[in-house]
Chains A and B, each alone.
Chain A
Amino acid sequence: MNIFTETFAWLADPTHWSGPGGIPVRLLEHLQYSFLVLVIAAAIAVPVGLYIGHTGRGRVVAVAVAGALRALPTLGLLVLFALVAGSGLMPPVWALVILTVPPLLAGTYAGISSVDSNVVDAARAMGMKELQVLFGVEVPNGLLVMFGGIRTAVLQVIATVSVVAYLPLGGLGRYLFDGLVLQDFPRMLAGSLLIAALAIVVDLVLAAVQRLVVSPGLSARSKGGRKAATDLSAAAPAAAAVQGGTA
């Protein structure tokens, strides 16, 4: 039998869709880990990113830290945390948080600082308080760039959570490593296809959310937005740090 028909048969087998090691359970675990990591990382990265973007303070430090973290190998950090902090759910979650903060942080402050300074000054001149300027003007206008960082971060987390199964924990990555040990290639391929499908579906959902949330005026003048971005030399390292790469 051909490997693809075997894999399809594996996926179609109802016993793989129920029980403690079934696909729905693994999928739920995968989403739970990802969600936990994203919530903790966002709680750290978003306020700091908003502060740096709004005030411009601490940008140099943030860029340096985010850049250094970007080069850290995901797998190395996961293994290090597992060895030093012991087994269980939280050590890998903290390792993942460290890897997720840079793209979120960079995306947030790149978004805020991509807003035309004339617009911000106009808001101040109209008598808006600083917080009103931030949440009423800078966040809505910077949202398109911020979404770039958010989507990168989410994809990176979903990809990296598959590696967590090696430690060993749950998630869809289990099928890859169990399959590897058992020399069961259809299981590995099925797991890989599920992970790839999950990443694509989540990204499509985020794209839909982005379309709903981001003002249509921003997307329509993306050409103009790019020109404005060219003038923002300060935002360049920020954007560089946004890119993390999927693990």
Chain B
Amino acid sequence: MDWFLANSPMVFERAGQHLVLALVPMVLGLLISIPLAQVSRRHSALRQLVATVSSLLYTIPSLALFIILPPLLGTRILDPLNVIVALTIYAVALLVRAAMDAFDSVDDDLRQAAVAMGYKPAARFLQIDLPLSLPVMFAGLRVVSVSNISLVSVAALLGVGNLGMLFTDGLQRNFVTEVVVGIVAILLLAVVMDALLVILERVLTPWTRAGSVKSDAHARSGAEFIADAKVHAGAGS
């Protein structure tokens, strides 16, 4: 605790770097996945291709990817951009499947009703498909958030600044306290991010709480199951 208090500015700076390296790829991944999922949902060949490529990319260990990317991108090994690109690749690999399932989870009758009411395709997508797919989408986002926060620390092995530096530094100095502070800080970061995502989801999807509480929880976790089943199939298949 004394060590933490004495070094808190450094820990907070590392935590800030950590958060940026974890969050930017998540947002980029979401921005890439939504249109990609929307396009590939409509073509079964493309869907198959996207599923295969994303699971293949997800198979590559992050430490290896952090090293393979620099010559491909023309960056230096210490460049944080490598970490951002690598984690964006993982985020897309997870989210594109989650997004396809999320759009699949929208009741087709609702889409047809929207068309019948005169919604143009773009308006229908923004006002019907996108909001209704949020519960399944958020299940995928929460997985990405936790896994990104954990993966960023691996980049510290190559010298990219983040909370993982507390581990490498602690090992070199044989200093357990620093390592424990690092673990606690990363756990806190993951828990806070998860809580923020849960709150954001509740704010964005008020209708999921409108019905009876019990059946609602039931339906939601069912949807999450699909997303997660797909997600871990993605990690494996």
* Interface residues of A, Cβ cutoff 8 Å to B: 3-4, 70-80, 82-84, 103, 107, 145, 147-152, 155, 158-160, 162-163, 166-167, 173, 176-177, 180, 185, 188-189, 191-193, 195-196, 199-200, 203, 206-207, 226, 229-233, 235-237, 239-240, 242-247
Considering only CB atoms, which chain A residue lies closest to B181 in the complex? A76
Contacts of A73 in B (CB 8 A): 149-150, 153, 163-164, 167, 182-183, 186-187
* Chain A hits for B43, CB < 8 A: none
11 contacts between A and B (CB under 8 A): A71-B186, A73-B163, A73-B164, A79-B168, A79-B171, A162-B64, A199-B59, A236-B228, A240-B139, A244-B235, A246-B151
Q: Known contacts being A76-B182, A148-B233, is A229 close to B225, with CB within 8 Å?
A: yes
Using a CB–CB distance below 8 Å, which chain B residues touch chain A?
56, 58-65, 67-68, 71, 77, 90, 139, 142-143, 146-151, 153-154, 156-158, 163-164, 166-168, 170-171, 174-176, 179-180, 182-183, 186-187, 190-191, 217-218, 221-226, 228-229, 231-233, 235-237
- Residues of B close to A107: CB separation below 8 A: 232
Give min CB distance, B189 to chain A, whole Å.
Answer: 9
Given the known inter-chain contacts A192-B68, A245-B147, A246-B58, please indicate yes or no for A236 contacting B224, CB distance below 8 A.
yes
Whether B143 pairs with A236 at a CB distance below 8 angstroms is no
Q: How far is the CA of A235 from the CA of B229 in the complex (A)?
A: 10
Closest to A83 in B: B176
B58 and A82 contact, CB distance less than 8 A:
no
A176 touches B67 (CB 8 A): yes
Task: State the CA gap A99–B215 with chains docked (Å).
Answer: 34
Partner of B143, one of A75, A147, A148, A243: A243
Closest residue of chain B to A237 (Cβ to Cβ) is B221
Chain A residues touching B, majority SS? helix
Among B150, B167, B228, which residue has its beta carbon within 8 angstroms of that of A79?
Answer: B167
Inter-chain contact B222/A243, CB cutoff 8 Å: no
B residues in contact with A72, CB < 8 Å? 150, 183, 187
Q: Which residue of A lies closest to B217 (CB)?
A: A233
Q: Which residues of B contact A83 (CB under 8 A)?
A: 170-171, 174-176, 179
A148 touches B226 (CB 8 A): no
Q: Which residue of A lies closest to B193 (CB)?
A: A71
Measured between beta carbons, the chain A residues less than 8 angstroms from B149 are 71, 73
Contacts of B224 in A (CB 8 A): 236, 239-240
**Given the known A-B contacts A233-B222, A236-B225, are A188 and B67 also in contact in the complex, defined by CB atoms under 8 Å?**
yes
Query: CB-CB < 8 A to B147: which residues of A?
Result: 243-245
Q: A200 contacts which of B59, B175, B222 (Cβ < 8 Å)?
A: B59
Q: Are A76 and B167 interface neighbours, CB within 8 A?
A: yes
- Contact A247:B64 (CB < 8 A) given known A76-B179, A148-B229, A199-B59: no
Q: Which A residues lie within 8 Å of B183 (CB)?
A: 72-73, 76-77, 80
CB < 8 Å neighbour of A230 from B68, B90, B186, B225 = B225
CA distance A90 to B56 in the complex (A): 31
Task: Given A76-B186, A233-B218, A236-B225, check contact A158 B164 (CB 8 Å).
Answer: no
If the complex has contacts A73-B186, A232-B225, A236-B224, are A149 and B232 also in contact, measured as CB distance less than 8 A?
Answer: yes
Q: Which A residues lie within 8 Å of B190 (CB)?
A: 71
Q: Is the CB of B236 within 8 A of A148?
A: yes
In the complex, what residues of B have CB within 8 A of residue A185's CB? Answer: 71, 77
Q: Return B218 CB to nearest CB of chain A, in Å.
A: 5
Contact A231 B236 (CB under 8 A): no
Also in contact, A243 and B231, with CB within 8 A (given A76-B182, A237-B221): yes
Complex Cα distance A70/B194, Å? 13
- Indicate whether A173 sits within 8 Å of B139 (C-beta atoms), given known contacts A152-B232, A232-B225, A233-B217: no
By beta carbon, the residue of chain B nearest A159 is B61
Contacting pair A199 B228 (CB below 8 A): no
Among all A-B residue pairs, the 9 with the closest Cβ atoms: A245-B147, A151-B236, A159-B61, A236-B221, A192-B64, A239-B228, A236-B225, A71-B190, A76-B183
Partner of A189, one of B58, B71, B180: B71
Q: How far is the CA of A72 from the CA of B225 in the complex (A)?
A: 22
Q: CB-nearest residue of chain A relative to B61?
A: A159
A242 to B229, CA, bound (A): 9
Q: How far is the CA of A4 from the CA of B70 in the complex (A)?
A: 12
Min CB gap A197→B, angstroms: 9
Task: Determine if A176 and B63 form an interchain contact, defined as CB atoms under 8 angstroms apart.
Answer: yes
Establish whether residues A180 and B158, one from each chain, have CB atoms under 8 Å apart when the complex forms. yes
